[in-house]
Amino acid sequence: MTASMNPPGITAVLLLSCPDRAGLVARIAQFIYERGGNILDLDEHVDVRDHHFFLRVSWSLDRFSIPAAGLEEAFAPLALEFSAVWKISLSGRRDRVAIFVSKYDHCLRELLWRHSLGEFEIDISLIISNHSDMAPLAAHHGIPFHVIPVTPGEKAEAERLQIGLCEAAGIDTIVLARYMQVLSPQFTLRYPSRIINIHHSFLPAFVGGNPYRQAYERGVKIIGATSHYVTDELDEGPIIEQDIIRITHRDTLEDLVRRGRDLERMVLSRALGLHCEHRILVNGRKTVIFG
């Protein structure tokens, strides 16, 4: 066996989806084995209704005979044979993340705290806001902070500036941490399945603005929060993570908002973790999440 050309400790993660057929797992495992790879984790799912196959597999490159830089080229013929949508990610390559925020700080604080503890394999490269309120928090964490006001009639220019900052910083993923602006289709199409939002409702119920008031006026017994990928349809993107909490008739609107904040923080954090660990495959309007 040829000695590995890769630094020790490097792992690869393959996310793949394709039409289902017999032998897919065996063929992919064989590809890894024949080149000296050691599978560390493998999870697969078949949508029996749509006859579609989904897989996440990670393997060590310590004894792999192909350099990491050539891995995608080597796997491409097999993926083409399967008519697959696929992506290979390597450990040690941290996603560069931009956080968009308005005036609510709870989600941003949660992400920055967890990041400071090393929970996310990411680099938070910049924070963008349409208000200046979060500047001291960003400065405390040593993260560049940019204020880009969004005013009526100037939204396109604001988005042009935002995109310019993200491209200059090489941003992979954008997190909307209670960013109270709707992104244009032109913006969202630049980052497919790479913009993560937190919606303060258990979607698909109570879409749009002020969902806690909607829930309170409807007299619901459960409130929730939903993190999803952003598409050009408002609050209709593929759902990544959700959670709920029970409430009663004694809870006021203010109680719902207060209790909902905890859900929002946790749900958005979990969604970002799943995304950056490469555990999500988008399947149309749905997601397949590998635990």
The residues pairing with 199 across neighbouring beta strands, listed in sequence order, are 226
Catalytic residue among 20, 235, 251, 262: 235
Which tokens sit at 67?
A: 């350099």
Cβ pair 111, 99 in contact under 8 A: yes
Cα–Cα distance for residue pair 219/216, rounded to 1 Å: 5
Q: What are the distances in angstroms from CA 207 to CA 44, 187, 255, 274?
A: 32, 20, 20, 23
Give the residue among 72, 60, 66 at the shortest CA–CA distance from 15.
Answer: 72
Cα–Cα distance for residue pair 112/127, rounded to 1 Å: 11
Identity of the amino acid at 56: R
Give the residue among 205, 211, 165, 158 at the shortest CA–CA distance from 181.
Answer: 158
- CA of residue 167 relative to chain centroid, distance: 18
Cα–Cα distance for residue pair 275/162, rounded to 1 Å: 22
Cβ pair 35, 1 in contact under 8 A: no
Q: In what order do the strands lie in the sheet with 222-229?
A: 145-147, 122-129, 95-101, 173-176, 195-199, 222-229, 239-246
Give the residue among 230, 224, 104 at the shortest CA–CA distance from 175.
Answer: 230
In whole angstroms, how large is the CA radius of gyration of the chain? 21
Question: Is 235 one of the annotated active-site residues of the chain?
Answer: yes
Give the max Cα distance, the chain.
Answer: 69
Residues annotated as part of the active site: 235
